[in-house]
C-alpha cells in the first residue's frame, strides 16, 4: 500500500477508480483510402457535435445561458461550411484525416491570431479546441466527459472552469490535482459540489495509474493506492459513517438558526455563479452571504454587458425567493486576472491595483455593474458589498457613484429597490482598525478572513512554505475580528463573516462569543455550521473569546477551545 | 446590391456572426458579404469572423433573394451590443 499526501481541500471520503485526465500526445495513425478517411471524418464531426450538444444543455442548466453560448459558438464552428469544406477537400486530395484537420485548423487559427481585434484573436483558441476534439475522436483517444464517468477519482494537473462545468457527485467520487490549494478555484467548486478533494499532490500524475482503485480522504489530504483489505474496509466504514452523519444533518435544513440563549444567527452560503443559488437554497442557506461576481467577468474576452450582468444577478435573487443575497462587486486582481481589463503584472498583486481600487479608477466600468445590480434589486432582497476597502474616502466615493446610478435610473424611469443595503468587506487590517469610522458609513460589515489573515500576518496564502504561519486563529487576527464586531455593533450595524474561518469548528465558538451575526460558508457546510451554532450559547462564550484574545499563539487558542469543547 | 456601414462598437463578434450564418444557412445559392471588394461566405461563421469587421467598416450584401438581402440589411444596420 502506498500513501500520497496533499492539501485537504474538500472534506469527505471518496473511493473509486482513477481517471487520469492528461493531454493526449502524438500517437500512431494508420491512414486508409480517401473515401474511408472521409467517412472517418464525418463520423468524428457527428461524435463531437453530440458531445457539444450535451455540453451546451448541461452548461445552460448549471451555469446559465451566457456560459452555454461559448459552446454554442463551438457547435457552429464545427459545422462551418468553410472549415469542414476545406478539411474534406484536403482529404479528397489524399491527406489522412487527422493531418487534414490539423492543417486546416492551423490555417484558421493563424488567420484569427493575425487579427487586430483582441477578442477575435483569442477565437483561435476555440478553433484549436475543436480541432483537438476532432483529432482525438479520429485517433480513437479517450475524450474527457465527466458525465460518462462511473465511480471515478478524477486526477488532473488542474481543472479549468469548462472541466468543472459538468462535474457532479454522481459520477466523480473524488478529485485529486497536482496544483492548487484549499482556497483555489477547483477547491471552491469541489466544496460547493460536496466532492472530496485533495490538492497540491505533486506526484499524482506519475504515481497514480489509470483505472486503479484508490481511496481519497479529503479531510486529512491522504490518498491510498493499492490499499490492503483492512484499510479498504476501514475507509468504507468511515465513508458510511460520514454519509450517515450527513443524513443526520438534514433535519437542520429547514430550521432557523437560534443559539441556546435565543440569539438569531444567519447561516448563509458562498457562491460564485447564479446557478449555484438553487443548490444553496436546497442546502438550507438563510441567504447568500457572498456571491463572488468576478466569476461573471472571468474566462471571457470582453467585459460582460449591463444586460448580461443584470440577468445573472436577477437569477440569483429570484432563486433565493426573498432571502437576502449579498453580491460582492468585482474583486479582480491579486490571484484573479482577466485579460481584457489590461491590468499590468505587478510585483505584489495582493498589495496592488485590484478590486475597488481599480473600479474607482474606471468609473464607467464600475457604474455598469452598479446599474445592473440596482436594476436587479427589484427581484429579491439585494445587499451590495464592496471588497478591499482601506479608507473612508473609498466608501464615500462608492456611495456617490451609487447615488448617481440611482438618479440615472430614476430619470430613465427604471425601477429599483429603495431598501438595498450597502456593506463593505473588512479584509485589510486598516479597515478593521478604522471600523468605528467606517461603521458610520455603511449598513453592514462582512469580515473576509482569508485576506485579513494574510495581510495581518504578512503571509502569502499561496506560498506553501508559509502555510504554518497562516492561521486565522492567531490572536492578532482574532483581535481585529473582535474589534470589527464591537465597533459595528456600537454603530448599530450587523457584522458577518464570509471567509473560510466562519465554517471552522474551532472558530465558531469564538466568533459567537464575540457576537458575530452572520456566518457565510460553502453550501455543503450550512447544516453542519447551523447544528454547531444551535448547540452553543453566545452569552456563555464571551469569557472564552476574551480569554483567547489574550493568548500568545494560534496553537494556544486551539488548545483552549479544544479543551473547552471536550468538557 | 445594398451597402451598410457597421455602427456597432465591437464590430462583428461571435454572436452577430452566428446569427447571420443561421439566417442564411438554408437560403438557396450563395450569400456573400463583400468587404473592400473581397467576398466572404455569409453561411460560414469562421469566414464572417475572419473578415475583421470593426466599427465604420462598409459591407456590401450580395444575395439573389431580395427578402433575405433586406433582412440582412436590417440586421446589420441595427446591430447593438
- pLDDT score at A541: 96
Q: Which among A56, A79, A82, A310 is the top mutation candidate for probing chain B, defined by the most B β-carbons within 10 Å of its own β-carbon? A: A82
Q: Which residues of B touch A302 (CB under 8 A)?
A: 10, 13
- pLDDT score at A180: 74
The C-alpha of A494 sits at a distance from chain B's nearest C-alpha, in angstroms, of 40
- pLDDT score at A23: 63
Whether residue B52 lies within 8 A of chain A, CB to CB, comes out as yes
Whether residue B71 lies within 8 A of chain A, CB to CB, comes out as no
Picking from A73, A81, A115, the nearest residue to B14 by CB comes out as: A73
Q: Is the pLDDT of residue B66 over 70?
A: yes
- pLDDT score at A379: 97
Please tell me which residue of chain A has the smallest CA distance to B49. Answer: A120
**Rounded Cα–Cα distance for residues A212 and A225 (Å):** 8
Residue in A74, A171, A185, A242 annotated catalytic: A185
Please tell me which residue of chain B has the smallest CA distance to A66. Answer: B15
Express as a percent the part of chain B with pLDDT over 90: 36
Q: Which residues of B touch A82 (CB under 8 A)?
A: 41, 44, 46-47
Please tell me which residue of chain B has the smallest CA distance to A71. Answer: B14
Q: Which residues of A touch B18 (CB under 8 A)?
A: 72-73, 76
User: Do the Cβ atoms of A82 and B81 come within 8 Å?
Assistant: no
**Rounded Cα–Cα distance for residues B19 and B49 (Å):** 12
Q: Which among B25, B49, B57, B80 is the top mutation candidate for probing chain A, defined by the most A β-carbons within 10 Å of its own β-carbon? A: B49
Picking from A69, A83, A119, the nearest residue to B10 by CB comes out as: A119
Please tell me which residue of chain B has the smallest CA distance to A105. Answer: B46
Q: Is the pLDDT of residue B2 over 90?
A: no
**Rounded Cα–Cα distance for residues A544 and A29 (Å):** 69
User: Do the Cβ atoms of A81 and B43 come within 8 Å?
Assistant: yes
**Rounded Cα–Cα distance for residues A190 and A175 (Å):** 8
The C-alpha of A53 sits at a distance from chain B's nearest C-alpha, in angstroms, of 16
- pLDDT score at A27: 61
- pLDDT score at A17: 92
For residue A206, count CB atoms less than 10 angstroms from its CB and return exposed for 0-12, middle for 13-18, buried for 19 or more. Answer: exposed
**Rounded Cα–Cα distance for residues A106 and A95 (Å):** 15
Q: Which among B8, B9, B35, B50 is the top mutation candidate for probing chain A, defined by the most A β-carbons within 10 Å of its own β-carbon? A: B50
| Successive 10-residue mean pLDDT values, chain A, 567 residues | 89 92 68 90 91 81 70 85 92 93 92 79 80 86 74 86 72 89 73 87 88 92 92 92 89 94 96 88 95 85 90 95 96 75 82 93 96 97 98 98 97 96 98 98 97 94 79 97 98 94 94 98 93 96 97 97 92
Please tell me which residue of chain B has the smallest CA distance to A113. Answer: B50
The C-alpha of B67 sits at a distance from chain A's nearest C-alpha, in angstroms, of 23
Within 17-46 of B, beta carbons closer than 8 Å to A belong to 18, 21-22, 41, 43-46
ipTM of the prediction greater than 0.90, yes or no: no
- pLDDT score at A169: 83
Please give the helix or strand (H or E) that residue A508 lies within, else none. Answer: helix A507-514
As a three-state string, the secondary structure of A385-428 is: EECCCCCHHHHHHHHHHHHHHHHHHHHHCCCCCCCCEEEEEECC
Residue with cell 490539423: A102
**Rounded Cα–Cα distance for residues A23 and A158 (Å):** 12
Interface of A with B (CB under 8 A): 69, 72-73, 76-77, 80-83, 108, 111-112, 115-117, 119-120, 123, 127, 302, 305
- pLDDT score at A301: 75
Picking from A81, A120, A305, the nearest residue to B44 by CB comes out as: A81
Tell me, yes or no, if A535 is annotated catalytic: no
Tell me, yes or no, if A185 is annotated catalytic: yes
Express as a percent the part of chain B with pLDDT over 70: 98
Q: Which residues of A touch B47 (CB under 8 A)?
A: 80, 82
**A221 or B13: which leads in pLDDT:** A221
Residue in A74, A171, A242, A498 annotated catalytic: A498
The set of residues, in sequence order, having a beta carbon less than 8 Å from that of A419 and lying 6+ positions away, is A381
Q: Which residues of B touch A120 (CB under 8 A)?
A: 13, 49, 52
Q: Taking each helix axis from N to C terminus, what angle separates A363-376 and A392-412, rounded to the nearest 10 degrees?
A: 60
- Asked whether the beta carbons of A366 and A357 are under 8 A apart, the reply is no
- Asked whether the beta carbons of A497 and A516 are under 8 A apart, the reply is yes
User: Do the Cβ atoms of B45 and A117 come within 8 Å?
Assistant: no
Whether residue B10 lies within 8 A of chain A, CB to CB, comes out as yes
**b/e map A103-134, b = 16+ CB within 10 Å:** ebbeebbebbeebebebbebbbebbbbbbbbb
Residue A373 vs residues A369, A377, A498: alpha-carbon distances, Å: 6, 6, 20
The C-alpha of B66 sits at a distance from chain A's nearest C-alpha, in angstroms, of 23
Whether residue B15 lies within 8 A of chain A, CB to CB, comes out as yes
- pLDDT score at A142: 66
- pLDDT score at A24: 55
Nearest to A164 by CA among A197, A186, A179: A186
**Rounded Cα–Cα distance for residues A134 and A91 (Å):** 14
The C-alpha of B59 sits at a distance from chain A's nearest C-alpha, in angstroms, of 18
- DSSP-derived secondary structure letter, A450: H
**Rounded Cα–Cα distance for residues A542 and B20 (Å):** 66
Whether residue B74 lies within 8 A of chain A, CB to CB, comes out as no
Amino acid at each position: 500500500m502506498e500513501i500520497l499526501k496533499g492539501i485537504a481541500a474538500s472534506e469527505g471520503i471518496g473511493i473509486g477508480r482513477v481517471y487520469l485526465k492528461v493531454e493526449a500526445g502524438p500517437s500512431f495513425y494508420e491512414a486508409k483510402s480517401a473515401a474511408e478517411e472521409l467517412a472517418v471524418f464525418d463520423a468524428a464531426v457527428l461524435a463531437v457535435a453530440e458531445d457539444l450538444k450535451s455540453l451546451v444543455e448541461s452548461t445552460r442548466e448549471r451555469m446559465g445561458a451566457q456560459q452555454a453560448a461559448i459552446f454554442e459558438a463551438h457547435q457552429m464552428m464545427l459545422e462551418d461550411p468553410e472549415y469542414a469544406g476545406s478539411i474534406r477537400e484536403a482529404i479528397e486530395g489524399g491527406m489522412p484525416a487527422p493531418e487534414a484537420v490539423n492543417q486546416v485548423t492551423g490555417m484558421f487559427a493563424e488567420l484569427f491570431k493575425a487579427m487586430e481585434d483582441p477578442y477575435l484573436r483569442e477565437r483561435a483558441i476555440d478553433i484549436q479546441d475543436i480541432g483537438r476534439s476532432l483529432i482525438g475522436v479520429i485517433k480513437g483517444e479517450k475524450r474527457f466527459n465527466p458525465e460518462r464517468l462511473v465511480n471515478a477519482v478524477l486526477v488532473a494537473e488542474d481543472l479549468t472552469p469548462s472541466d468543472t462545468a459538468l462535474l457532479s457527485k454522481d459520477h466523480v467520487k473524488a478529485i485529486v490535482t497536482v496544483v492548487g490549494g484549499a482556497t483555489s478555484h477547483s477547491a471552491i467548486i469541489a466544496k460547493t459540489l460536496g466532492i472530496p478533494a485533495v490538492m497540491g499532490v505533486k506526484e499524482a500524475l506519475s504515481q497514480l495509474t489509470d483505472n486503479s482503485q484508490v481511496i481519497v480522504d479529503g479531510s486529512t489530504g491522504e490518498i491510498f493506492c493499492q490499499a490492503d483489505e483492512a484499510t479498504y474496509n476501514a475507509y468504507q466504514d468511515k465513508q458510511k459513517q460520514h454519509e450517515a452523519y450527513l443524513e443526520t444533518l438534514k433535519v437542520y435544513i429547514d430550521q432557523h438558526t437560534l443559539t441556546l440563549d435565543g440569539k438569531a444567527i444567519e447561516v448563509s452560503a458562498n457562491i460564485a455563479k447564479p446557478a449555484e443559488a438553487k443548490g444553496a437554497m436546497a442546502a438550507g442557506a438563510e441567504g447568500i452571504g457572498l456571491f463572488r461576481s468576478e466569476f461573471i467577468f472571468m474566462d471571457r474576452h470582453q467585459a460582460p454587458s449591463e444586460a448580461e450582468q443584470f440577468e445573472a444577478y436577477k437569477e440569483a435573487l429570484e432563486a433565493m425567493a426573498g432571502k437576502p443575497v449579498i453580491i460582492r462587486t468585482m474583486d479582480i486582481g491579486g490571484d484573479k486576472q482577466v485579460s481584457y481589463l489590461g491590468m499590468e503584472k505587478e510585483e505584489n498583486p495582493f498589495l496592488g491595483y485590484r478590486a475597488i481600487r481599480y473600479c474607482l479608477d474606471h468609473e464607467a466600468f464600475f457604474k455598469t455593474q452598479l446599474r445592473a445590480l440596482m436594476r436587479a434589486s427589484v427581484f429579491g432582497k439585494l445587499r451590495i458589498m464592496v471588497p478591499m476597502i482601506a479608507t473612508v474616502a473609498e466608501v464615500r466615493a462608492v456611495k456617490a457613484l451609487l447615488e448617481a446610478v440611482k438618479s440615472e435610473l430614476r430619470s430613465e424611469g427604471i425601477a429599483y429597490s429603495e431598501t438595498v443595503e450597502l456593506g463593505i468587506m473588512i479584509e485589510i487590517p486598516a479597515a478593521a482598525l478604522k471600523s468605528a469610522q467606517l461603521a458610520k458609513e455603511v449598513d453592514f460589515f462582512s469580515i473576509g478572513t482569508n485576506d485579513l489573515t494574510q495581510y495581518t500576518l504578512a503571509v502569502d496564502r499561496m506560498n506553501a512554505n508559509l502555510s504554518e504561519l497562516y492561521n486565522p486563529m492567531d490572536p492578532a487576527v482574532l483581535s481585529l475580528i473582535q474589534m470589527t464586531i464591537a465597533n459595528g455593533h456600537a454603530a448599530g450595524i450587523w457584522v458577518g463573516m464570509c471567509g473560510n474561518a466562519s465554517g471552522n469548528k474551532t472558530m465558531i465558538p469564538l466568533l459567537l462569543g464575540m457576537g458575530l451575526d452572520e456566518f457565510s460558508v460553502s453550501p455543503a457546510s450550512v447544516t453542519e455550521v447551523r447544528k454547531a451554532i444551535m448547540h452553543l450559547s453566545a452569552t456563555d462564550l464571551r469569557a472564552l473569546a476574551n480569554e483567547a484574545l489574550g493568548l500568545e499563539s494560534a496553537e494556544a487558542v486551539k488548545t483552549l477551545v479544544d479543551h473547552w469543547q471536550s468538557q | 446590391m445594398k451597402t451598410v456601414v457597421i455602427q456597432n462598437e465591437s464590430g462583428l463578434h461571435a454572436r452577430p456572426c452566428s446569427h447571420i450564418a443561421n439566417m442564411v444557412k438554408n437560403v438557396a445559392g450563395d450569400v456573400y458579404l463583400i468587404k473592400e471588394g473581397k467576398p466572404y461566405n455569409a453561411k460560414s461563421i469562421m469566414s464572417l469572423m475572419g473578415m475583421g469587421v470593426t466599427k465604420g467598416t462598409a459591407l456590401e450584401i450580395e444575395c439573389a433573394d431580395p427578402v433575405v438581402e433586406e433582412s440582412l440589411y436590417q440586421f446589420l444596420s441595427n446591430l447593438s451590443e
